Protein backbone atom coordinates (compact mmCIF):
# COMPACT_ATOMS: atom_id res chain seq x y z
CA UNK A 1 0.00 0.00 0.00
CA UNK A 2 1.36 3.41 -0.90
CA UNK A 3 1.48 6.27 1.59
CA UNK A 4 -1.15 8.14 -0.42
CA UNK A 5 -3.40 5.07 -0.17
CA UNK A 6 -2.86 5.04 3.60
CA UNK A 7 -3.91 8.69 3.83
CA UNK A 8 -7.03 7.93 1.78
CA UNK A 9 -7.73 4.84 3.94
CA UNK A 10 -7.59 6.95 7.09
CA UNK A 11 -10.22 9.35 5.70
CA UNK A 12 -12.35 6.48 4.37
CA UNK A 13 -12.37 4.81 7.77
CA UNK A 14 -13.68 7.99 9.37
CA UNK A 15 -16.38 8.21 6.71
CA UNK A 16 -17.28 4.60 7.57
CA UNK A 17 -17.93 5.58 11.20
CA UNK A 18 -14.65 5.14 13.05
CA UNK A 19 -13.35 7.92 15.26
CA UNK A 20 -10.49 10.20 14.26
CA UNK A 21 -7.78 8.42 16.26
CA UNK A 22 -8.89 4.98 15.08
CA UNK A 23 -8.89 6.19 11.50
CA UNK A 24 -5.28 7.40 11.64
CA UNK A 25 -3.78 4.56 13.69
CA UNK A 26 -5.45 1.73 11.83
CA UNK A 27 -4.33 3.07 8.45
CA UNK A 28 -0.72 2.42 9.50
CA UNK A 29 -1.22 -0.57 11.83
CA UNK A 30 0.36 -3.20 9.59
CA UNK A 31 3.59 -1.18 9.40
CA UNK A 32 4.01 -1.76 13.14
CA UNK A 33 2.87 -5.37 13.34
CA UNK A 34 -0.64 -4.68 14.60
CA UNK A 35 -3.83 -6.07 13.21
CA UNK A 36 -6.56 -3.65 12.22
CA UNK A 37 -8.61 -4.83 15.20
CA UNK A 38 -5.75 -4.21 17.62
CA UNK A 39 -5.23 -0.73 16.20
CA UNK A 40 -8.95 0.05 16.48
CA UNK A 41 -8.99 -1.15 20.08
CA UNK A 42 -5.87 0.70 21.24
CA UNK A 43 -7.00 4.01 19.74
CA UNK A 44 -10.73 3.80 20.54
CA UNK A 45 -10.61 6.05 23.61
CA UNK A 46 -8.94 8.98 21.87
CA UNK A 47 -11.70 10.02 19.46
CA UNK A 48 -13.67 13.27 19.72
CA UNK A 49 -10.89 14.99 21.59
CA UNK A 50 -10.16 12.08 23.96
CA UNK A 51 -13.36 10.34 24.98
CA UNK A 52 -15.55 13.11 23.52
CA UNK A 53 -14.17 15.65 26.00
CA UNK A 54 -13.13 17.85 23.04
CA UNK A 55 -9.54 18.15 24.26
CA UNK A 56 -6.64 17.13 21.98
CA UNK A 57 -7.96 16.29 18.51
CA UNK A 58 -8.35 12.54 17.98
CA UNK A 59 -6.45 12.70 14.68
CA UNK A 60 -3.53 14.30 16.52
CA UNK A 61 -3.76 11.66 19.26
CA UNK A 62 -3.62 8.94 16.61
CA UNK A 63 -0.61 10.53 14.94
CA UNK A 64 1.14 10.79 18.30
CA UNK A 65 0.38 7.16 19.10
CA UNK A 66 2.24 6.32 15.90
CA UNK A 67 5.13 8.51 17.07
CA UNK A 68 5.38 6.34 20.18
CA UNK A 69 5.65 3.26 18.00
CA UNK A 70 8.55 4.87 16.13
CA UNK A 71 10.47 6.40 19.05
CA UNK A 72 10.02 5.45 22.69
CA UNK A 73 11.89 4.43 25.80
CA UNK A 74 11.86 0.71 26.39
CA UNK A 75 13.69 1.15 29.68
CA UNK A 76 12.29 3.44 32.35
CA UNK A 77 15.67 5.07 32.86
CA UNK A 78 16.23 5.88 29.17
CA UNK A 79 15.96 9.66 29.33
CA UNK A 80 17.49 10.08 25.87
CA UNK A 81 14.77 7.97 24.21
CA UNK A 82 12.05 9.75 26.20
CA UNK A 83 13.45 13.10 25.14
CA UNK A 84 13.59 12.02 21.49
CA UNK A 85 9.95 10.93 21.68
CA UNK A 86 8.87 14.18 23.30
CA UNK A 87 10.77 16.20 20.69
CA UNK A 88 9.06 14.27 17.88
CA UNK A 89 5.64 14.69 19.53
CA UNK A 90 6.19 18.42 19.87
CA UNK A 91 7.36 18.76 16.26
CA UNK A 92 4.39 16.81 14.91
CA UNK A 93 1.88 18.68 17.08
CA UNK A 94 3.36 22.04 16.09
CA UNK A 95 3.17 21.12 12.39
CA UNK A 96 -0.48 20.12 12.80
CA UNK A 97 -1.16 23.39 14.66
CA UNK A 98 0.62 25.38 11.93
CA UNK A 99 -1.48 23.80 9.20
CA UNK A 100 -4.83 23.75 11.01
CA UNK A 101 -4.72 26.53 13.62
CA UNK A 102 -5.03 24.32 16.70
CA UNK A 103 -4.60 20.81 18.05
CA UNK A 104 -7.68 21.13 20.27
CA UNK A 105 -10.86 19.40 19.11
CA UNK A 106 -13.18 22.04 20.58
CA UNK A 107 -11.34 24.83 18.75
CA UNK A 108 -11.18 22.92 15.47
CA UNK A 109 -14.94 22.34 15.68
CA UNK A 110 -15.58 26.00 16.54
CA UNK A 111 -17.27 25.15 19.84
CA UNK A 112 -17.34 28.00 22.32
CA UNK A 113 -18.21 26.12 25.47
CA UNK A 114 -17.27 22.78 26.92
CA UNK A 115 -19.53 19.86 26.06
CA UNK A 116 -19.50 16.92 28.42
CA UNK A 117 -21.62 14.24 26.81
CA UNK A 118 -20.38 10.70 26.37
CA UNK A 119 -23.05 10.06 23.74
CA UNK A 120 -21.43 9.37 20.38
CA UNK A 121 -22.79 11.52 17.58
CA UNK A 122 -24.97 9.89 14.98
CA UNK A 123 -23.17 9.78 11.66
CA UNK A 124 -25.47 11.44 9.16
CA UNK A 125 -24.77 13.40 5.98
CA UNK A 126 -25.25 16.59 8.06
CA UNK A 127 -22.70 15.37 10.60
CA UNK A 128 -20.05 14.91 7.91
CA UNK A 129 -20.98 18.18 6.16
CA UNK A 130 -20.58 20.31 9.29
CA UNK A 131 -17.35 18.87 10.68
CA UNK A 132 -13.74 19.42 9.60
CA UNK A 133 -12.76 15.99 10.96
CA UNK A 134 -12.06 14.32 7.61
CA UNK A 135 -9.67 17.17 6.76
CA UNK A 136 -8.01 16.86 10.18
CA UNK A 137 -7.54 13.12 9.67
CA UNK A 138 -6.07 13.70 6.24
CA UNK A 139 -3.76 16.35 7.68
CA UNK A 140 -2.53 14.14 10.54
CA UNK A 141 -1.99 11.17 8.24
CA UNK A 142 -0.17 13.36 5.71
CA UNK A 143 2.07 14.86 8.39
CA UNK A 144 2.89 11.35 9.56
CA UNK A 145 3.72 10.27 6.01
CA UNK A 146 5.92 13.35 5.55
CA UNK A 147 7.71 12.43 8.77
CA UNK A 148 8.24 8.86 7.59
CA UNK A 149 9.58 10.12 4.28
CA UNK A 150 11.86 12.65 6.02
CA UNK A 151 10.08 15.61 4.42
CA UNK A 152 9.15 17.59 7.53
CA UNK A 153 11.34 20.57 8.36
CA UNK A 154 13.92 19.75 11.00
CA UNK A 155 12.85 16.09 10.86
CA UNK A 156 14.98 14.21 13.36
CA UNK A 157 13.95 11.53 15.85
125-140 tens-digit pLDDT: 999 999 999 999 999 9
Coil, strand or helix at 157: coil
Contact between 128 and 134 under an 8 Å Cβ cutoff? The reply is: yes
36-48 tens-digit pLDDT: 999 999 999 999 9
Which pTM value belongs to this model?
Answer: 0.93
End-to-end CA distance of the chain: 24
Amino acid sequence: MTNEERIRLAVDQFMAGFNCAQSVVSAFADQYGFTREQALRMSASFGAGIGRMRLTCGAVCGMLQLAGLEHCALEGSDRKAKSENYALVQRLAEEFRRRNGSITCRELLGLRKEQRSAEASERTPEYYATRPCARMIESAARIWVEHLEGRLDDDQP
